[in-house]
């Protein structure tokens, strides 16, 4: 009772409020009592916080003292980088224009940069900038400094920038880095809107909310999930996060691939004929025809066609061939090309703007790869529009060649080597568009079950139709 009266007297409380003091003395967080004894908070504030949890009382106390500009050190029970066995003090380094500069560094009401330092036996062992002006973020960084065994505080924007710089140092293609930048840029905007400062604060539930708000199709969402997993794994490897929370999210299942029909022979002829009506000069027509023939006979992607080098065409005995790629085993993959395609490539002038000998068929060597690919895409789009073929695009030539190879007896492994895909991808995307392959399966079944009559007579066919009608009725 005497201790309660002394606290009440120190806090300037009348004897009529001793009952309130009794209740405050039972508060689960002793720091509130210490602040009340030091006259840092009023009896009214302490009375408002009495029903909060210990963590909630400490949070309200820190915010209240920070708003008043009182000095309040961060809580610390460990060591700072293994050297300081005390607490870090957060303070503002006031600028010359700050109106609180004369009041000292312990005034936190302004928006000046925040710093932290730590002392042991009066000797300063740490003093560094927290690189922020936000007090809540500064406290999180100070806690990370005080506990070096925990994750390092890293802002989401800084982590995204570091990840993209790492991708550039690894030599990834600019198109790949651009996809990473777009997806992670959306994640950064989401974190800013939700008040998520550090990558270590991200949870699986928050990533689920981010993905649900994107509104992407299943196949695009699965690709973006792979990017999120790579980014979170990158942060875990640098101790910015304790867990790769993106790995807890399962990839979408039963994704239906886009149905892309191969070109018919009539459609291919119409596209080739449209090259003679395209453009205003002979160079533009030859260039468009050469691109179409390369797509038709090699099934290269549009980016590889736009960057096609002359040294990839070589002679193998009595025929010409084109170098496609080098497999992981180190073996090169070549594909023979017809003479009409070689004749068109030989007749093609050097690209506009090229100086002297140019090592490319369609690129002058000047400008970016992205620009020349976009130029080739515009050229082919104009040719497809002129041809009148519905839903025509460059990637359909890959489907066309794949179905032709499968129909001619090629295996999934052979087609995969030519296209640069896996046999599973070939089976998934191209097998259903190959009627000749189904005909070969029928012939194979007739050879295995030799002598079996597979035909349907007219009488049996009529009975099947009648039975079907009776069943439906």
Which tens digit of pLDDT belongs to each residue from 283-303?
889 999 999 999 999 888 888
**Rounded mean pLDDT of 233-246?**
90
Cα-Cα-Cα-Cα torsion 356, 357, 359, 362, nearest 10 degrees, comes to 60
Tell me if 310 sits within 8 A of 402, measured CB to CB: no
Predicted local confidence at residue 71, as pLDDT: 43
User: Domain 265-433 in CATH: superfamily?
Assistant: Intergrase catalytic core (1.10.443.10)
Distance CA 303, CA 368 (A): 12
- Model's pTM, two decimal places? 0.56
In percent, the amount of the chain with pLDDT more than 70 equals 73
Encode burial over 186-206: b for 16+ CB neighbours within 10 A, e otherwise: ebbebbeeeebbbbbbbeeeb
In terms of Cα–Cα distance, which of 298, 294, 259, 292 is closest to 419?
298
**156-248: CATH topology:** DNA polymerase; domain 1 (1.10.150)
Q: Is 35 helix (H, G, I), strand (E, B) or coil?
A: helix
Q: Tell me what the pLDDT averaged over the chain comes to.
A: 78
194-215 pLDDT, tens digit each: 888 888 889 999 999 999 999 8
Report d(CA 21, CA 46) in Å as an integer.
9
Supply φ then ψ for residue 360, to 5 degrees: -115, 155
Nearest alpha-carbon partner for 87 in 73, 69, 70:
73
Q: How confident is the model at residue 433 (pLDDT cuts 50, 70, 90)?
A: low
Return the closest-CA partner of residue 128 out of 116, 144, 120, 143: 116
Residue boundaries of the structural domains of the chain? 2-68, 88-146, 156-248, 265-433
Higher pLDDT, 140 or 14: 140
As a whole number of angstroms, the distance between CA 235 and CA 225 comes to 15
Q: What is the pLDDT of residue 204?
A: 92
Query: What is the mean pLDDT of the segment spanning 448-453?
Result: 62
> Which phi and psi (to 5°) does residue 124 adopt?
-80, 125
3-state secondary structure of 313: strand
Pair of tokens at residue 14: 């009348």
Burial class, 132, CB count within 10 angstroms (exposed 0-12 / middle 13-18 / buried 19+): middle
The closest of 367, 396, 357, 349 to 307, measured between CA atoms, is 367
Q: Output the pLDDT for position 274.
A: 92
> Is 366 strand, coil or helix?
coil
The CA distance from 407 to 337, in Å, is 19
**C-alpha span between 240 and 140 (Å, rounded):** 13
> Above 60 in pLDDT, residue 3?
no
Predicted confidence at residue 294, as pLDDT, reads 92
Residue 473 CA to residue 462 CA, distance in Å, equals 17
For 125-177, the pLDDT digits (tens) are 678 888 888 887 787 777 766 665 556 778 899 999 999 999 998 888 888 99
pLDDT value at residue 364: 87
d(CA 197, CA 427) in angstroms, rounded, equals 45
Per cent of the chain over pLDDT 90 is: 21
Give the position of tokens 């005390």: 86
- Alpha-carbon distance 199 to 34, whole Å? 35
Q: What is the mean pLDDT of residues 324-348?
A: 83
């Amino acid at each position: 009772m005497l201790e309660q009266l002394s606290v009440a007297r120190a806090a300037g409380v009348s004897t009529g409020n001793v009952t309130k003091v009794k209740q405050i003395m039972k508060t689960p967080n002793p720091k509130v009592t210490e602040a009340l004894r030091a006259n840092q908070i009023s009896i009214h504030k302490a009375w408002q916080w009495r029903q909060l949890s210990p963590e909630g009382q400490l949070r309200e106390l820190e915010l209240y003292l920070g708003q008043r500009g009182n000095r309040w050190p961060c809580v610390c029970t460990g060591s700072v980088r293994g050297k300081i066995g005390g607490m870090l003090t957060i303070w503002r380094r006031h600028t010359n224009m700050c109106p609180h500069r004369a009041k000292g560094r312990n005034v936190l009401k302004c928006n000046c940069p925040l710093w932290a330092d730590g002392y042991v036996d009066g000797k300063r062992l740490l003093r560094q900038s927290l690189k922020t002006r936000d007090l809540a973020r500064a406290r999180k960084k100070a806690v990370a400094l005080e506990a070096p065994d925990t994750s390092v505080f890293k802002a989401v924007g800084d982590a995204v920038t570091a990840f993209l710089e790492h991708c550039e140092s690894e030599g990834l293609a600019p198109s790949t880095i651009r996809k990473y930048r777009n997806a992670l840029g959306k994640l950064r905007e989401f974190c800013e809107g939700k008040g998520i400062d550090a990558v270590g604060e991200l949870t699986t539930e928050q990533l689920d909310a981010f993905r649900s708000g994107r509104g992407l199709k299943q196949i695009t969402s699965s690709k973006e999930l792979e990017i999120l997993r790579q980014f979170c794994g990158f942060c875990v490897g640098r101790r910015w996060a304790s867990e790769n929370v993106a790995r807890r999210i399962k990839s979408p299942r039963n994704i239906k691939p886009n149905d892309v029909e191969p070109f018919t022979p009539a459609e291919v002829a119409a596209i080739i004929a449209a090259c003679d009506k395209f453009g205003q000069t002979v160079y533009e027509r030859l260039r468009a025809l050469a691109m179409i023939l390369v797509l038709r006979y090699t099934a290269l992607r549009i980016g590889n066609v736009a960057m096609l080098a002359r040294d990839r065409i070589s002679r193998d005995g009595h025929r010409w061939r084109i170098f496609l790629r080098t497999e992981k085993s180190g073996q090169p993959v070549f594909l023979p090309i017809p003479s009409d395609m070689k004749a068109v490539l030989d007749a093609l002038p050097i690209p506009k703007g090229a100086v002297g000998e140019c090592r490319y068929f369609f690129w002058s060597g000047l400008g970016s790869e992205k620009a020349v690919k976009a130029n080739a895409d515009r050229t082919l789009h104009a040719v497809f529009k002129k041809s009148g073929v519905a839903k025509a695009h460059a990637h359909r030539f890959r489907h066309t060649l794949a179905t032709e190879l499968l129909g001619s007896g090629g295996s999934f492994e052979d087609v995969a080597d030519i296209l640069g895909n896996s046999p599973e991808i070939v089976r998934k995307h191209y097998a259903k568009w190959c009627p000749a392959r189904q005909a070969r399966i029928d012939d194979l079944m007739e050879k295995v079950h030799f002598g079996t009559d597979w035909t349907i007579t007219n009488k049996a066919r009529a009975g099947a139709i009648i039975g079907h009608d009776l069943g439906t009725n």
